[in-house]
Chains A and B, each alone.
Chain A
Amino acid sequence: NAGVTQTPKFQVLKTGQSMTLQCAQDMNHEYMSWYRQDPGMGLRLIHYSVGAGITDQGEVPNGYNVSRSTTEDFPLRLLSAAPSQTSVYFCASSYLQNSNQPQHFGDGTRLSIL
């Protein structure tokens, strides 16, 4: 049982480059989300989705795009990378509409923008 799978695990980009962080889950979870983790700030929500075709912004959405074409996949796109986007990125998923559901996390992607 794979759970939540993120790729790549590490990536170095130059300022202005674009890339997509991949996230896939095999638990049939409706809710998926992307967080960034920065020292001293915990995890901050970037974007989330409550089902295929539905996405919405979180706390820090600027500079990132998402799409949800299937229940399983929720990629995060950086269109023009900036040094401020250097961070560790986590994808998470859970069942929908119930505050007692924990989120299941991928192992993270460590992204450095030079």
Chain B
Amino acid sequence: AQKITQTQPGMFVQEKEAVTLDCTYDTSDPSYGLFWYKQPSSGEMIFLIYQGSYDQQNATEGRYSLNFQKARKSANLVISASQLGDSAMYFCAMREGEGNDMRFGAGTRLTVKP
């Protein structure tokens, strides 16, 4: 069964606007971590932000924030004030409990328009 679902294969956003990238997950473990990675056209995987299942507040890292809705099992990435350099593939991932495996979604390709 798919553990991480990203339903948006591609997204477009105007420069300086905010954009939300969707991610839903499936787990029965009460302890888990959710991660977002950015993959620019150069190919490397860049860690952006982390949200723990027991965290009371939504995670934020600069222009990145995570809209964590635990009951809905969603962990959407919000990028504020988009920049041209934000154009990339974005992956949502999850690690469960004491397990070490990280499961990834299929990714969303974000294009920022000038």
A: which residues have CB within 8 A of B? 31, 33, 35, 40-45, 48, 50, 58, 88, 90, 92, 94, 96-97, 99-105, 107-108, 110
Q: How many residues of B contact A (CB 8 A)?
A: 30
Chain A residues near B53 (CB-CB < 8 A): 99
Question: Which residue from B9, B35, B50, B102 sits with its C-beta under 8 Å from A45?
Answer: B102
* B60 CB, min distance to chain A CBs, angstroms: 16
B: which residues have CB within 8 A of A? 4, 6, 9, 31-33, 35, 37, 43-45, 47, 50, 52-53, 91, 93, 95-107
Chain A residues near B91 (CB-CB < 8 A): 42-43
> For the complex, what is the distance from the CA of A97 to the CA of B97, rounded to whole Å?
8
| Given A40-B106, A107-B43, A108-B44: A102 in contact with B35 (beta carbons within 8 A) | yes
Contact B106 A99 (CB under 8 A): no
Nearest residue (CB) in B for A100 is B33
Chain B residues near A40 (CB-CB < 8 A): 9, 106
Contact A99 B101 (CB under 8 A): no
| Given A42-B91, A45-B102: A102 in contact with B50 (beta carbons within 8 A) | yes
Chain B residues near A107 (CB-CB < 8 A): 43-44
| Given A41-B106, A42-B105, A45-B102: A99 in contact with B97 (beta carbons within 8 A) | yes
> For the complex, what is the distance from the CA of A96 to the CA of B100, rounded to whole Å?
7
* B105 CB, min distance to chain A CBs, angstroms: 5
* A113 CB, min distance to chain B CBs, angstroms: 19
Nearest residue (CB) in A for B42 is A107
> For the complex, what is the distance from the CA of A102 to the CA of B107, rounded to whole Å?
17
Chain A residues near B43 (CB-CB < 8 A): 88, 107-108, 110
Contact A94 B44 (CB under 8 A): no
Contact A97 B52 (CB under 8 A): no
Given contacts A42-B91, A48-B100, 9 further A-B contacts (CB under 8 A): A42-B4, A42-B6, A43-B93, A44-B104, A58-B101, A88-B43, A99-B31, A102-B47, A103-B47
* B77 CB, min distance to chain A CBs, angstroms: 14
Contact A97 B100 (CB under 8 A): yes
